Structure 1
Amino acid sequence: MSDLLLIAVFAALGAGAAGLLGWPAVRLLRRRSVALSLFAVAVVTVLAMTAGTVAVAQAMFLSHHDLGVVITVTCMAAVVSLITAALLGRQVVAGSRALAVAARTVGSDGGFAAPAEPLGSELAELSAELAATSARLAESRQREQALESSRRELIAWISHDLRTPLAGLRAMAEALEDGVAEDPVRYHARIRTEVDRLTGMVDDLFELSRIQAGALTLSLSRISVYDLVGDAIAGAYPLARERGVHLLGEQVEPAPVEVDSREITRVLGNLLINAIRSTPADGVVAVAARREEGEVVLSVTDGCGGIPEQDLHRVFETGWRAESARTPRAARPVSGGPRGSAVQHHGDTGAGLGLAIVRGIVEAHAGRASVRNVSGGCCFEIALPAARSALG
């Protein structure tokens, strides 16, 4: 037992001396190539093993022949170990370089091109993370491009929508100034109508900017969906009567919700106005509300004839409108009203902002807005969290 202990002491002394001599080299090479660092570690290990073996062999007073045999075997093992370490280092460096080249494709149009050669588990995990990062960057780029395209379209459409009424206002003002207006009262009423529409457009732009900036402040209160639908239908009834559209609100469950009643009434008003404007005369616009798991779903169904499937995902985009003509239809006089009078409704600005405002307000309430085609028309749905006491 004492012999083994003595051998262990000599081996530790020899290996320790080699390790102390090799440690500075490992420290100096820690910022260099991985292959060089691995080779340095292998050299230190081989030197430690060789030094320990030689120290033990000399302590055992072996003959010169036996000592030569031990040293020869040790050297052969050292050579094989160093060659193996060098090959392993080259393989790691090759994988690292291939991954570095592949990393240049992160976020490119073609997507991340993973290295074809096999990688170690750590490098393979890093490659998977780079692929996921590239996919997220591609999605972000697509969203940014979509937003930029929507922003450009909005600027172009708003410019057109502003230019048309302004040109009409200027022409009517000049006619009144020159005294060539045959019916000044009618001109004044028309000017008031156009000013109201421009005011509504500016209000919509301001509301949308507040929503997109996250500056929309909600005053939540508990209210029945039945009351919300009733207020919205009452506000949209004059427009429905003007266009000969029937409003139905019979399938409304009186479920309680905690919402900003003013904002949700605006949401329902925008949906009803769009539905009425898209439904032909003698058509029906139906409002319904139902309870589902943890939420209340309000729906507005119209008779527009449906939206092309390829456009359904764009319905709630800023500035999107199904009609190809950018000029809104003029409001018609109300039967029985004064000559030249016209009805102008909030949200009926024709700027394509109403549905974007709908989605923004609903999402501010932690809800969701969606649309789908139904028989003869479309069904717009908004899902709002149900009041806590109604969740059971």
Structure 2
Amino acid sequence: MNRDQLTIFAITAGWTLVVGLFGGAILWRFRRKSLRITMIVAGLVPMLAALAAVTQSVQLMFISAHDSLVVLWTLVFSGLLGLAMSVLLGHWVSTGSRDVGRRLRQLGTSYEPVEGRAAVPAELAAITDELELTRQRLAASRERERALEASRRELVAFMSHDLRTPLAGLRAVSEGLEDGVVDDVPGALRQMRTTVDRMTGLVDDLFELSRLSTAPPPRRRSAVSLRELAEDVVGESCEHARSEGVALSVSTPDDDDRLAVHGDADELTRAVTNLVGNAIRHTERGGAVKLTVDRAEDGRVRLAVTDGCGGIPDDDLERVFDIGWRGDEQRTPSSGSTGGGGLGLAIARGVVESHAGSIAVANVEGGCAFEIDLPAVSSSA
């Protein structure tokens, strides 16, 4: 490399350093300003450095006037192109940044979504998409909280009523016994015991629901035959069904499949008993309740309880398993043990979900069907 080339190299490097430091100072000065300005500055700095280096090289006669003119025009047009690209890119990034800021401000709130999306870099587009998903999740969570709060208020109101009524009865009977105006003392004591049993069952339901809601460590579980469990529940509930004038039956496969699931036998028995008791209670006299236990196509074990309640309004189907929910006076989902409170179906759902299963309800001809799906015990278990 000869002397002239070294001089040109030194001039170019010097101007690049000087203009670069000047541009860096401007960027630092405007670091808290609009991103568009900083991108324009970043696009102009290299062009200014090249212009300064070429201009000094022309003055020192290292480049001829003709060649310098060609280089200068090339730099001018290249600089204008770079400036236009910087402005366009700055606009895209600024638009995307404003959209991100808007979505951040609106997290946890509802707003009318904007149709389409501005042309922004992929990174900002990914951020806006993630923010939108986060907003939707927060909105859904807020709706769930509202629904749970409404459920709690309903539960408190219902439980207050369900407790007040038997307490008033106990007080009346106890005052009658105290004043000696009750002739049938043994009958009064039996009535008091029955009332206490109802209240005890209600408290037990509340305790069980609280235990399921707080997600405690799972109890010791083993292989449970859902087939045998269903037959036992039908045997225990047949007297209740007979007193209500309801035919109760169970249907199982013809083979020897035990339809085993991995779970807690007591919890599963309680869930199925609640469903059966609820079905018997809301089936008209002369109707039928049927349990069906079988294996689904995906290998899971399915238990269905079909009743003759006349069906549930479509608007209420999604609320059937809510804590404390009650339908109309003719159909009030409740627990199998207390006959009040609207806890039986909520407990059944809690038990099934704690066993990694699912529970659903659908209207069928003349009534509705509650279906439980539970993972089957593997053959190696």
Q: How does 1:287-326 map to 2 (within 5 A)?
A: 287-292=291-296, 293-324=298-329
Change (3 A) 1:327 1:168: farther
Larger CA deviation: 99-108 vs 218-227: 99-108
**Cα deviations by residue, 1:178-227 (Å, 9 ceiling, x for unpaired):** 11113222211111111100000000000000101001632211132222
Change (3 A) 1:260 1:117: closer
What residue in structure 2 maps to residue 46 of structure 1? 47
Letter in 1 for 2:374: L
What residue in structure 2 maps to residue 341 of structure 1? none
What residue in structure 2 maps to residue 333 of structure 1? none
Residues 222 and 257 in structure 1, CA contact (< 8 A), matched pair in contact too: yes
What residue in structure 1 maps to residue 167 of structure 2? 166
What residue in structure 2 maps to residue 351 of structure 1? 341
CA distance in 2, matches of 1:88, 1:371: 55
Alignment partner of 1:279: what SS? Answer: coil
Larger CA deviation: 16-25 vs 252-261: 16-25
What residue in structure 1 maps to residue 27 of structure 2? 26
Change (3 A) 1:390 1:356: farther
Residues 250 and 288 in structure 1, CA contact (< 8 A), matched pair in contact too: yes
**Cα deviations by residue, 1:19-53 (Å, 9 ceiling, x for unpaired):** 24433443454343312321331232222222332
Alignment partner of 2:164: what SS? Answer: helix
- Deviation of the 1:172 alpha carbon: 1.2
Change (3 A) 1:374 1:235: same
Is there any run of 5+ residues in structure 1 with no aligned partner, and where?
330-344
What residue in structure 2 maps to residue 387 of structure 1? 377
CA distance in 1, matches of 2:332, 2:351: 26
Change (3 A) 1:58 1:325: same
Alignment partner of 2:166: what SS? Answer: helix
- Deviation of the 1:122 alpha carbon: 4.2
What residue in structure 2 maps to residue 367 of structure 1? 357
Q: How does 1:60-79 map to 2 (within 5 A)?
A: 60-62=61-63, 74=75, 78=79
Is there any run of 5+ residues in structure 2 with no aligned partner, and where?
none
- Deviation of the 1:78 alpha carbon: 4.7
Change (3 A) 1:359 1:181: same
Change (3 A) 1:111 1:72: closer
Letter in 1 for 2:38: S
Alignment partner of 1:30: what SS? Answer: coil
CA distance in 2, matches of 1:272, 1:184: 35
**Cα deviations by residue, 1:337-389 (Å, 9 ceiling, x for unpaired):** xxxxxxxx962332110000000000000001111111211111111110101
CA distance in 1, matches of 2:155, 2:246: 30
Change (3 A) 1:9 1:147: same
Residues 284 and 303 in structure 1, CA contact (< 8 A), matched pair in contact too: yes
Letter in 2 for 1:358: A
**Cα deviations by residue, 1:201-257 (Å, 9 ceiling, x for unpaired):** 000000000101001632211132222112212221221222222221133553222
Letter in 1 for 2:40: F
Larger CA deviation: 9-18 vs 176-185: 9-18
- Deviation of the 1:98 alpha carbon: 5.5
Residues 244 and 285 in structure 2, CA contact (< 8 A), matched pair in contact too: yes
Alignment partner of 2:27: what SS? Answer: helix
Change (3 A) 1:28 1:284: same
Which TM-score applies when normalising by structure 1? 0.83
What residue in structure 2 maps to residue 96 of structure 1? 97
Larger CA deviation: 257-266 vs 74-83: 74-83
CA distance in 1, matches of 2:199, 2:81: 85
Q: How does 1:277-292 map to 2 (within 5 A)?
A: 277-292=281-296
1:241 and 2:246 equivalent? no
**Cα deviations by residue, 1:123-168 (Å, 9 ceiling, x for unpaired):** 4443333332222222111111111111111111111111111111
- Deviation of the 1:316 alpha carbon: 0.8
Change (3 A) 1:200 1:5: farther
CA distance in 2, matches of 1:328, 1:145: 21
- Deviation of the 1:318 alpha carbon: 0.7
Alignment partner of 2:19: what SS? Answer: helix
Change (3 A) 1:121 1:389: closer
Residues 11 and 55 in structure 1, CA contact (< 8 A), matched pair in contact too: no
CA distance in 2, matches of 1:187, 1:298: 41
CA distance in 1, matches of 2:4, 2:201: 97
Change (3 A) 1:390 1:71: closer
Residues 245 and 281 in structure 1, CA contact (< 8 A), matched pair in contact too: yes
Q: How does 1:174-253 map to 2 (within 5 A)?
A: 174-215=175-216, 217-252=218-253
Change (3 A) 1:73 1:376: closer
**Percent of matched pairs sharing the same residue:** 44
CA distance in 2, matches of 1:18, 1:125: 36
What residue in structure 1 maps to residue 276 of structure 2? 272
Alignment partner of 1:322: what SS? Answer: coil
